[in-house]
Amino acid sequence: MPALHIRDVPDETVAAIKRRAARHGVSVQQELRAALARLAEEPVEGSRPHSLQLMTVETGRAEPFDRATFYDDDER
């Protein structure tokens, strides 16, 4: 498994991470691994979504869709 090494982390940040890890009852490494996993799941700005969620709705229309009627053309 790859490893990361992060330099120049402010003391206040390290202390806050240690407090969070203690509050969750895990090691600093486990706390950081979980935080990185959450971050990796967030969408990247400008990227496409991973999946689409589609929803079917009732339109009240009983007859089937007819392209020619809908577009008033001959499928050009």
Cα–Cα distance, 35 to 29 (Å, whole number): 10
Give the model's confidence band at 15: pLDDT under 50 very low, under 70 low, under 90 confident, else very high: very high
**What is 12-55 written as a DSSP string?**
HHHHHHHHHHHHHTS-HHHHHHHHHHHHHHSPPTTPPPS-----
The pLDDT of residue 11: 97
H or E stretch at 56: none
pLDDT digits (tens, 9 = 90+) for 24-72: 999 999 999 999 999 998 877 777 766 778 888 887 777 777 777 777 7
**Structural domain spans, the chain:** 7-42
Q: What is the pTM of this model?
A: 0.56
Extract the tokens encoding 59.
């339109």
